[in-house]
Amino acid sequence: MNRRTRTVVLCCALLLLTAGTVGPAAVATDEPQQREAAALTGTAKLYRSAGDDITFSFDAHLAAKDKADPSKATGTFAFSHYLNGSGARAEVEVDCLVTGGKVAVVSGIVTESDLPGAEGKRVGVTVHDLGRHDRLGYSWASTGRPGEGDEPPKCVSSAPFEKVKKGTGDFTVVPWQPEL
């Protein structure tokens, strides 16, 4: 086999090998790709001068097909708060997500927690996506710890009064654009 034939055979073999690794996302279609109706994703630690270790993580989404009903949002979020070796954490199943511009309000039911009385209770969180200076608020800021005070309705929280610790904010808000 001459050099040119070997090169052609090698190129064909490489093309055949890589053709099997191309997923469906790479295949062109005539269908327009719809973005989800709203989303809140990311993780950050809150800034506290006393040294508290407070972390929030979000993976909340509202599908395009559910654009008219934010209570059909899906996903989870989690938070934890520790100081001097004591504290608590909670995992939450999303039951509502509303976004406007770079602000998101998400609520859900606590599914797992080591905070007594929190499981089964609704909590809400507000995020303001400001790039490296994100802010956050939570429903229990005025009602006490989850499970102690009144539960907010779906998609209700407080103003984003907390600052995210420098270098940790990576929240991303996909704005909701309902048809009015």
Of the chain, the percentage scoring pLDDT greater than 70 comes to 78
Residue 13 — very low, low, confident or very high, per pLDDT cuts 50/70/90? very low
Predicted pLDDT at 143: 72
Burial letters for 132-152: b for 16+ Cβ neighbours within 10 Å, e otherwise?
Answer: eebbbbbbbeeeebbbeeebb
Contact 73, 66 (CB under 8 A): yes
* pLDDT: which is higher, 78 or 3: 78
CA distances from 180 to 63, 68, 174 (A): 18, 10, 18
Q: Where are the beta strands (DSSP E) in the chain?
A: 38-45, 53-62, 74-83, 86-100, 103-113, 122-128, 135-138, 162-163, 172-174
* pLDDT: which is higher, 49 or 148: 49
Residue 79 — very low, low, confident or very high, per pLDDT cuts 50/70/90? very high
Q: Is the pLDDT of residue 172 over 80?
A: yes
pTM for the predicted model, two decimal places: 0.78
* pLDDT: which is higher, 5 or 37: 37
The secondary structure of residue 46, as a DSSP letter, is: B
* pLDDT: which is higher, 82 or 145: 82
Residue 23 — very low, low, confident or very high, per pLDDT cuts 50/70/90? very low
Q: How many angstroms separate the CA atoms of 20 and 31, rounded?
A: 23
